Structure 1
Amino acid sequence: MVMTIMLGLASRAYGSSLPAIIAENAGDALWAAMVYFGFRFLLVRKSLLTAMMLSILFSFAIEFSQLYQADGINQIRDTVVGALILGKGFLPVDLVRYTSGILAAAFLDRCFLHSKSRRR
């Protein structure tokens, strides 16, 4: 999770040095991957599919919550931490980015589990 957070923050900080497609999409995909790894950490005995589904539900709920624009929640979104967690405005393309990040994280997770089980 920590490495994913660092990569996500770096993708925002150094976006101008990255290819446009990576700069535009990596932050959201890595945010969703971090959510996936968080669920895997909390629910270590559950299946990858469970972590994927919970991650998608959580990520999509956060994105759709951005349609709600009340003063109180917008004050939270105006902080750095609030913007990183809650985002600022609804973008349908973010749903694709989140799904891609979660699928990539689950793929890496599965590869790690396979390599771990082969070493035993």
Structure 2
Amino acid sequence: MITKQRIAYLTITFGVMLLGLLSRKVAIVPLAVGDLLYAVFIYFGFRFLFYKHYNTTQTACLGLLFCYLIEYSQLLDFPLLQQLRQYAIVRTIIGQGFLWTDILAYTLGTLLAYYADKKLN
């Protein structure tokens, strides 16, 4: 059964996803904003999926670890990944180049989502 809380998390997740995608289409929005929103998206998506299994702190740690793994995976460079990154959807999900600023954006985004979640509940 889906509770009101989980519906709220799902709604926030989709809203943040749309904002993140739009941020990539508007030239004046810094790329770091999209990365920050990606971390917010991951946090609230995980809250939706694992609401009964993990508390907010555990979800933040899990989300941050996920984002870090995605970023560090961009250091890998082999032919299959190069081929997959030719598709926009794959490039959006797994990225295409490691940047330390992305690590910072993911950290800030996760903290923002965590504190917003704590404040709203």
State whether TM-score is above 0.5. yes
Percent identity of the aligned residues? 35
Give, as a single letter, the amino acid of the residue that structure 1 aligns with 2:70: I
Match of 1:49 in 2: 57
Rounded to whole Å, the distance in 2 between the matches of 1:105 and 1:77 is 28
Match of 1:62 in 2: 70
Give, as a single letter, the amino acid of the residue that structure 2 aligns with 1:35: I
Runs (4 or more) in structure 1 with deviation over 6 Å come to none
Q: As a proportion of its length, which structure holds more helix?
A: 1
Rounded to whole Å, the distance in 1 between the matches of 2:48 and 2:40 is 12
Q: Provide closer, same or farther for how the CA distance between residues 42 and 10 of structure 1 changes in structure 2, counting only shifts above 3 A.
A: same
Match of 1:30 in 2: 37
Match of 1:3 in 2: 15
Give, as a single letter, the amino acid of the residue that structure 2 aligns with 1:39: F
Superposition pairs of residues 82-97 of structure 1, within 5 angstroms: 82-97=90-105
**Contact kept in structure 1, 2:32 and 2:101, CA below 8 Å:** no
Match of 1:103 in 2: 111
Match of 1:116 in 2: none
Rounded to whole Å, the distance in 1 between the matches of 2:86 and 2:115 is 34
Q: Which stretch of the first structure deviates more once superposed, 57-66 or 104-113?
A: 104-113
Q: What TM-score does the superposition give when structure 2 sets the normalisation length?
A: 0.85
Match of 1:39 in 2: 46
Q: CA deviation at 1:92?
A: 1.2
Rounded to whole Å, the distance in 1 between the matches of 2:75 and 2:88 is 19
CA RMSD of aligned residues (A): 1.0
Aligned length: 108
1:10-52 superposed Cα distances (whole Å, 9 cap, x missing partner): 1111132x4xxxx231100001111111110111022101100
